[in-house]
Copies of this chain bind each other. A is one copy, B any other.
Amino acid sequence: MARIVMKFGGTSVADLDRIANAAKRVKREVDAGNEVAVVVSAMAGVTNQLVSYVDQTSKIYDTREYDSIVASGEQVTAGLMALRLQEMGVNARSWLGWQIKIHTDDVHGKARITAIDGSEMIERFGEGQVAVIAGFQGISPLNRIATLGRGGSDTTAVALAAAVKADRCDIYTDVDGVYTTDPRIVTKARKIEKISHEEMLELASQGAKVLQTRSVEMAMNHGVRMQVLSSFEDLPGTLVVAEDEIVEEQIVTGIAYSRDEAKITLVNVADKPGVAAHIFGPLADASVNVDMIVQSVSADGKKTDLTFTVGKTDVERAVKVLEDNHHEIEYDDLLADSDVVKVSVIGVGMRSHAGVAQTMFKTLAEKGINIQVISTSEIKISTLVAEEYTELALRALHTAYGLDAE
């Protein structure tokens, strides 16, 4: 017997037939003698509809009202899932965030879970009852509904798994696992059997959209074993586990890419102390997140070029901030380029193997792809290249690191 949290995303509960299909998977786990909690998203499209109502009603909206409106989508799915399970003879009931309770902070619209009281659910597991939980929502210190931000149901599932000490947190979705890279681009991409939390976190942060970054982070911190698998096919998925559970390590586990960034270059900035603060301080004040940063070596020790990346949606704001601060920053020219892609190679094996970066640079050079910016972490190397090379770069790197399926 195991205790399992099963999470179904929007496409997995898109309509009543799909809810019924998901319910069958729940029943299978129950019939196998497991204790089960189910976390559901809103039916696909519902959240967008509700968000559009809000956008049409108010330009700068009260996020507490936004949360109360948008959270209703998951409330409906939770009730329908409980009813469907009952109809199949499974003892089940729905739980809303304020009933459990799932406590959050008061940052409405992107709240963080602060505590979950799993005691009543655990008691009911003992009576054979399945808990069906509305994902994406909790209750704020002031008794208002607070949502966790887009994709927040993954986080609900992992937080719940930690709270009830579940053996596994299964994330059912419309893909059948985590791949070495995007299989729509690289046909030889392989499904990864097991991946460490840390690698999954890097993959997710670097552009792989299969899991919400925060949920992986939480799973890592609480040692929650996750599985990503398909709602529609009976295939084993990808296990996301602690590193020590992985026996045979690859040097490189996966290759991610992100088209969501843009490059900004300040030409001929004064090369003197404090200039970086003058640039990145105002950007931070304007809530512009800066990712990669590179500063060229200054030829004469007086002027240098500074390049960095920001989110594509933040480019206009960033440019305005820099122009407004022109007199303080002192640059000759400001260039913004949105036609870039960030390609990242990820693997815990990098820690113990030299030459991984060299392979990346050599492979890209052989294909005539110019690297614009480089950044690295302990288990990741990211390069910024022109967007038109996305597919070429991914395929070449996938082969170079020996990831191609046979």
Contacts and interface: CB of A to CB of B under 8 A. Distances in A.
Nearest to A52: B16
Interface in A259-298: none
Interface residues of A, number: 38
B64 A84 contact: no
A57 B69 contact: no
Instruction: Give the oligomeric copy count.
Output: 2
B93 A76 contact: no
A82 B76 CA distance: 21
A377 interface: no
Interface string A155-171: 00000000000000000
A80 B93 contact: no
A103 to B, nearest CB: 15
A146 to B, nearest CB: 13
Contacts of A143: 99
B76 A50 contact: yes
Interface string A43-56: 00000001001101
B82 A62 contact: yes
A85 B89 CA distance: 46
Contacts of A75: 68-69, 71-72, 75
A94 B79 contact: no
26 contacts: A50-B76, A53-B76, A53-B80, A54-B80, A54-B83, A57-B80, A57-B83, A57-B87, A58-B83, A58-B84, A58-B86, A61-B86, A65-B79, A66-B83, A68-B75, A68-B78, A68-B79, A68-B94, A69-B75, A69-B79, A69-B83, A71-B75, A72-B72, A72-B75, A96-B145, A98-B98
Interface of A: 16, 19-20, 50, 53-54, 56-59, 61-62, 64-66, 68-69, 71-73, 75-76, 78-80, 82-84, 86-87, 93-94, 96, 98-99, 143-145
